[in-house]
Structure 1
Amino acid sequence: MSEQQGITFFEAMGGEEGIRRIVEAFYPKVQAHPLLGPLFPEDITPVMEKQRQFLTQFFGGPPLYSNQYGHPMMRARHLPFEITPARAAAWLGCMEKALEETGMAKELRQAVLQRLEGPAYHFVNS
């Protein structure tokens, strides 16, 4: 899946509705995960909204995150949290389950996870 085929990841993922479904499937898994849950506030709604905006932008949709918060600077924004390799892997595992749960085709799931793997491990700071 690529823009060379005439379609962005964002479009292939179902656009705004697809990203919303992914985020809604993802965060219950994150909250329930023993390594990840403690990093997040009890009211996860604002986190979900930021993630929706970021993923929309990251995958080729409108720059919702930057329009509201400026440059993403995601590594800097994650520095206050202890991000270990195990937590990065857990995050990707939760995302993989969410993508599967939303019915995303295997080939697209793999491409999306591959695209997220670099940033997930780039945030490791412990």
Structure 2
Amino acid sequence: MSAPTSERDDETFYDQIGGYPTIAKIVDRFYEGVATDEVLRPLYPEEDLAPAAERFTLFLVQYWGGPTTYSDRRGHPRLRMRHAPFKVTPKARDHWLLHFRAGLDEAGLTPEQDTQFWDYITHAAQFMVNSFDED
């Protein structure tokens, strides 16, 4: 994983957006929505969403150029493989994006930063769809 960098070669997108606190804020808001979402909540088998939130935060931190804690703890992300046991439908993707959008909206990113983050998230969400059976 390599994060896009700014015109300054030493500043990553992670740095530009405010680092860990910004990503944690986005993820926290996202999981607030997931916690009460009838479509998404069943996809999270843990009683407490905190472990999932921590993993997602660390993944995004690493993806955008922050510390590599995610890979240090869990190895390669293997996103499709890790999500394979769960039925991720277009409806689930749309609910997921709705809650992520709420997190981004509260983050206070510049329009350019928001677009860059949103473009990645929408692509990743589509990539996770593994079932078209909406039953």
- TM-score, L = length of structure 2: 0.84
Q: Which amino acid aligns with 2:54?
A: E
| Bigger helix fraction | 1
Greater C-alpha Rg = 2
Runs ≥4 residues deviating over 4 A: none
- 1:14 is the counterpart of 2:18: yes
Unaligned ranges ≥5, structure 2 = none
Rounded to whole Å, the distance in 2 between the matches of 1:82 and 1:69 is 22
Structure 1 position 3 matched with structure 2 position 5: yes
Deviation, 1:22, is 1.3
Find the aligned partners of 1:56 and 1:62 in 2 and give their Cα distance: 7
Match of 1:93 among 79, 94, 98: 98
Root mean square deviation, CA, Å = 1.5
Residue of structure 2 aligned with 1:112, choices 113, 117, 122? 117
Answering whether residue 47 of structure 2 is matched by residue 28 of structure 1, we say no
Unaligned runs of 5+ in 1: none
Q: Cα distance, 1:24 vs. partner?
A: 1.3
Residue 29 of structure 2 contacts residue 99 of structure 2 at CA under 8 Å; is this kept in 1? no
Residues in 2 aligned to 1:107 and 1:35: alpha-carbon distance in whole angstroms = 31
